[in-house]
Chains A and B, each alone.
Chain A
Amino acid sequence: NAGVTQTPKFQVLKTGQSMTLQCAQDMNHEYMSWYRQDPGMGLRLIHYSVGAGITDQGEVPNGYNVSRSTTEDFPLRLLSAAPSQTSVYFCASSPGTVYYNEQFFGPGTRLTVL
């Protein structure tokens, strides 16, 4: 198992550009989520999904879109990047949504918006 994979590892964008951060997991997990990590603020939930075709907003969803067409993939889209979106982004997955489960994290994507 590769676990949770994220691409790219690093990305530099200009203000206004769009891009998609990729996240995939090969553990057949129902639940997937995206976090951003900023200095002194810990990790904050952006969007999450409890299964294919179902997504919902987390704590800081503005400026980000997600979709979940398959169990394996959960891409995060930035439609018009802003400097405030400079951050490290982590994708995570969890086996289920009903019972308590730990989340497994990917290695992260470091995004800089100029």
Chain B
Amino acid sequence: AQSVTQPDIHITVSEGASLELRCNYSYGATPYLFWYVQSPGQGLQLLLKYFSGDTLVQGIKGFEAEFKRSQSSFNLRKPSVHWSDAAEYFCAVDPPRNQFYFGTGTSLTVIP
């Protein structure tokens, strides 16, 4: 069965510090991979996606993610975090059948 693991339930970083959110998936082949962000009380917004090709993908708001096939990982990074980045972040995979499987999310707190 497909699964998505986000091992960090909650992360706290200082503003200006770098950030890495981890995501591992379990699937026989390479799925389509996504990172979404959810601000409190809001819907989900797509940050970036990986389908094929270059394993380092750039997204909105200065985020990037790197796909590592050997580790079945798709970690999200940002070099310098801003207070407005505080939110919940979800990794998702599409096997692909347009049936998304989401991780349990990582809550990010940014301290001044």
- Among B34, B36, B43, B101, chain A packs the most CB atoms within 10 A around the CB of B43
| One of B46, B94, B105 near A42 (C-beta < 8 A) | B105
Q: Which residue of B lies closest to A41 (CB)?
A: B104
A48 x B99 contact (CB < 8 A)? yes
**Which of A4, A31, A43 contacts B90, CB < 8 Å?**
A43
CB-defined A-B contacts under 8 Å, sample of 11: A31-B98, A33-B100, A40-B104, A41-B104, A42-B90, A44-B102, A50-B98, A90-B43, A105-B43, A105-B45, A107-B43
**Number of A-B residue pairs having CB atoms within 8 Å of each other in the complex:** 58
Residues of B within 8 A of A50 (CB): 98
| Number of chain A residues whose Cβ lies closer than 8 Å to a Cβ of chain B | 27
- SS class, residues of chain B in contact with chain A: strand
A55 adjacent to chain B (CB < 8 Å): no
Contact digits for B81-107, partner A, Cβ 8 Å, 1 yes 0 no:
000000000101010101111111100
- Give Cα A41–Cα B6 distance, bound, in whole angstroms: 11
| Residue from B9, B32, B102 whose CB has the most chain A CB atoms within 10 Å | B102
Nearest chain A CB to B45's CB is how many angstroms away?
8
Closest 3 CB pairs of A and B: A42-B102, A105-B43, A43-B102
Task: Return the CB mask of A4-35 against B: 1 if under 8 Å, else 0.
Answer: 10000000000000000000000000010101
